[in-house]
Structure 1
Amino acid sequence: MEKKRILLIASYDGSLIEFRGDFIKNLINNGFDVYAAAPEFTEHYRKLIKDIGAVPIDFKLQRTGLNPLKDFKSIQELKSIIKRHKIDLVFPYTVKPVIYGSIAANMCKVPVISLITGLGYAFTGLSFKVRTLQRFNEMLYKLSIRKNKVIVFQNKDDYELFLDRKIITKHQKVDFVSGSGVNLNKYTFKEKNPTENVSFLLIARLIKEKGIAYYMEAAKILKAKYPKTEFHLIGGNENSPSAISKDEINLLHDQGVIIFHGIQHNIEKHLQQRDVFVLPSYYREGLPRTNLEACACGNPIITTDSVGCRESVRHGVNGFLIEPQSQDALIEAMEYFITNPDKIKEMGYNSRKYAEERFDVNIINNDLLKLINNVLKI
């Protein structure tokens, strides 16, 4: 029997390995031929995709902004890819791949399972420009995913929003998964035993919506009060209107307020070395991967009681949910761990237990595999 061919569509090549690598391996192990499409493949990720047995495919995609001509060309290119490789099912994730991949697949009459991984910047509604972009994206979502076989959400809030905005109807088939999952064999548990040298870590894109500025301000205030406490920051500089100033980060690093690591690839090592993970995001998340990785490594988590983020924390059990954009709430939660270091060990253990119960990548991937088999009637 000829193998079924699945096309994954991503907005950048690294996510195919970092977020979907285990999923691709699972599909291949279950007898599928996997094609992985992303714009501007680097040789590094092209090789990694080939090494796990998938076929990397380049296509052009303007990741941010709107350009109707370029966006139309992306759809046409994806349509050509689907036809040329005789794809049996398309699996797009993140905003533009879902919209353009779904339109292309529907034009080819190829079934689609789309994964909504968070609505991000365009659904924060912080300015007139963003609200305009939001309405346009709503229209594109409604147009593109109406014929999709299954729409998979990472949290109930996004599902309710899609219903409220009439992007989908209650008659459309939907399902839910707990994020992209985390490989518990890679992100291993390390017991935390801090004393007065409590260390915090934030890993994120360096944009305001991720709460970076609130974290840096908390570090300035708490460092003055508790000099032995450490505040670590990992992330790359962003080409974005809301990017945090590189000079501001470097200044705090030079002053010894924060320890800035830039971009890092051995995230599990950093999580294991630090005590408490912090993500004060007010971005519209799906379910932040870093929160799941922190859970697996046994870090208590401080994050916001907002869309996506709240899914990763049982308040008071494996961390704290705080009010978004509240400097006082963030400082209070961080100071709790500084003055109660014994709680870090207890809550860290609870984080790992929660990861094993809910976020194991094998659980997530098996759920997605069942959806695919059902759509393809395997």
Structure 2
Amino acid sequence: MDNKNIMIVASLSASLINFRGDFIKSLVDNGYMVFAAAPDHPSNIRSKLVSLGATPLQFNLNRTGLNPFKDMTSISELKGLIKDNNIDLVFPYTVKPVIYSSIAANQCNVPVVSLITGLGYAFTGLSTKARLLQRFNETLYKLSIRKNKVIVFQNKDDHQLFLDRNIISKEQSVAFVSGSGVNLNQFSFQEKNTSDKVSFLLVARLIKEKGIALYMEAAKILKAKYPQAEFHLIGATETSPSAISENEINELHKEGIIVFHGKQRNIEEHLHKRDVFVLPSYYREGLPRTTLEACACGNPIITTDSVGCRESVKEGINGFLIEPQNLEALIKPMEYFITNPKKIREMGINSRKYAEERFDVDIINKDLIDIINYVLQQS
């Protein structure tokens, strides 16, 4: 099995390090030649990929738009990368890489193991545009992934949706992993020493679907009642139609209701400083990486009882699940932790145990490499 060439395909270069860095290293350690393909590798990402033992490859990709001519160019370039580098197996993740890489690899008779990391904005279906995009993506998925050797899902809900929409058949080979995993050494456990000054943290893209507006409303209400409580927010500002106004966030920051940190890289440090992690998302998640990192660091979790999010919580053990887009449902568990701070330590310990049992990146990577080994043996 040595010297087989694996091409990992991403839509964003940085995600190859942030989400697949440990996976790349594991593949290299298992004797694979790894090629990491994405649009526009900045020099720092390129250097990090090389240090992991991977060969960076570039192709053009229109990440957000729907331009058939540019999309055909992406497929053609991916075919070229597969042929020029004698790729034995393609491993794409996120929507466009899965669709275009699958088409390219199938045309080259190269096996594909595709990872469905969540269905996102299109399958949230909250607007006419989203519903139209959903139907378009369904068609593209049907055309592209039915010949894939294995389709890996991060939750059972997405698999069921693919079956219900006839995107895949019941005979299709599928597997399941618990998200992208979390490095338990990097996101180390620190037991909470809680006081009456309970602090909450939300880390996410600053869009409505992530529940940012709901979190800010809850902060307004709870801050008035419990002035000692803190409500922290981390995230980069967005330009999407559902972006939260940066002015609105800054105004709450000035008023002392929200502590806004903007974009941050040292997330584990912020998780160690804060008590409870909150993600009131109604986005179609795969399995949010942020909740896994919070579990690993020993934070109780408050998140929605919705696709992907619910996977990170054992109800009442390491946190609470709430109804999506329900302000009262969000306020209730937040107030519970404010008035019962001693439960934070107990539930935080349980979060770490859950991370060790289920979300350890070494477990996830072993499962993925076992799948790849199996497919290559059958090819």
Matches within 5 A, 1:1-378: 3-377=3-377
- CA distance in 2: counterparts of 1:324 and 1:310, whole angstroms: 11
- CA distance in 2: counterparts of 1:205 and 1:269, whole angstroms: 19
SS at match of 2:264: coil
Q: Give the percent of matched residue pairs that are identical in Structure 1 and Structure 2.
A: 72
- CA distance in 1: counterparts of 2:238 and 2:100, whole angstroms: 24
Equivalent residue pairs, number:
378
**AA of the residue aligned to 2:22:** D
- CA distance in 2: counterparts of 1:377 and 1:132, whole angstroms: 40
- CA distance in 1: counterparts of 2:57 and 2:180, whole angstroms: 22
CA RMSD of aligned residues (A): 0.9
- CA distance in 1: counterparts of 2:243 and 2:37, whole angstroms: 27
SS at match of 2:169: coil
Shift of 1:51: 1.1
Per-residue CA deviations over 1:234-283 (Å, capped at 9, x if unaligned) read 11011200000011111111111111111111111111111000000000
Shift of 1:61: 0.8
- CA distance in 2: counterparts of 1:327 and 1:87, whole angstroms: 50
- CA distance in 1: counterparts of 2:90 and 2:225, whole angstroms: 54
SS at match of 1:377: helix
Shift of 1:289: 0.2
- CA distance in 1: counterparts of 2:348 and 2:40, whole angstroms: 39
Deviating more after overlay: 319-328 vs 256-265: 256-265
SS at match of 2:90: strand
TM-score, normalised via structure 2 length? 0.99
**AA of the residue aligned to 2:225:** K
Per-residue CA deviations over 1:96-120 (Å, capped at 9, x if unaligned) read 0000010010011100000000000
Per-residue CA deviations over 1:155-180 (Å, capped at 9, x if unaligned) read 00000000000000010100000000
**AA of the residue aligned to 1:53:** G
- CA distance in 1: counterparts of 2:243 and 2:26, whole angstroms: 36
- CA distance in 1: counterparts of 2:212 and 2:98, whole angstroms: 28
- CA distance in 1: counterparts of 2:222 and 2:7, whole angstroms: 48
**AA of the residue aligned to 1:371:** I
**AA of the residue aligned to 2:342:** D
5+ long unaligned stretches in structure 2: none
- CA distance in 2: counterparts of 1:366 and 1:80, whole angstroms: 29
- CA distance in 2: counterparts of 1:221 and 1:250, whole angstroms: 17
- CA distance in 2: counterparts of 1:34 and 1:359, whole angstroms: 24
SS at match of 1:232: strand
Shift of 1:42: 1.4
- CA distance in 1: counterparts of 2:4 and 2:352, whole angstroms: 36
Contact 2:288 2:308 in 1 (8 A): yes
- CA distance in 2: counterparts of 1:222 and 1:59, whole angstroms: 48
Per-residue CA deviations over 1:12-68 (Å, capped at 9, x if unaligned) read 011101111000000000000000011121112111111111011111111112111
Change (3 A) 1:2 1:152: closer
Per-residue CA deviations over 1:192-217 (Å, capped at 9, x if unaligned) read 12111100000000000000000011
- CA distance in 2: counterparts of 1:44 and 1:121, whole angstroms: 29
Spell out structure 1 runs of 4+ moving beyond 6 A.
Answer: none
SS at match of 2:194: coil
- CA distance in 2: counterparts of 1:15 and 1:67, whole angstroms: 23
Contact 2:2 2:32 in 1 (8 A): no
**AA of the residue aligned to 1:200:** F
5+ long unaligned stretches in structure 1: none
Shift of 1:2: 6.0
Contact 2:302 2:333 in 1 (8 A): yes
Contact 2:2 2:31 in 1 (8 A): no
- CA distance in 1: counterparts of 2:239 and 2:58, whole angstroms: 22
TM-score, normalised via structure 1 length? 0.99
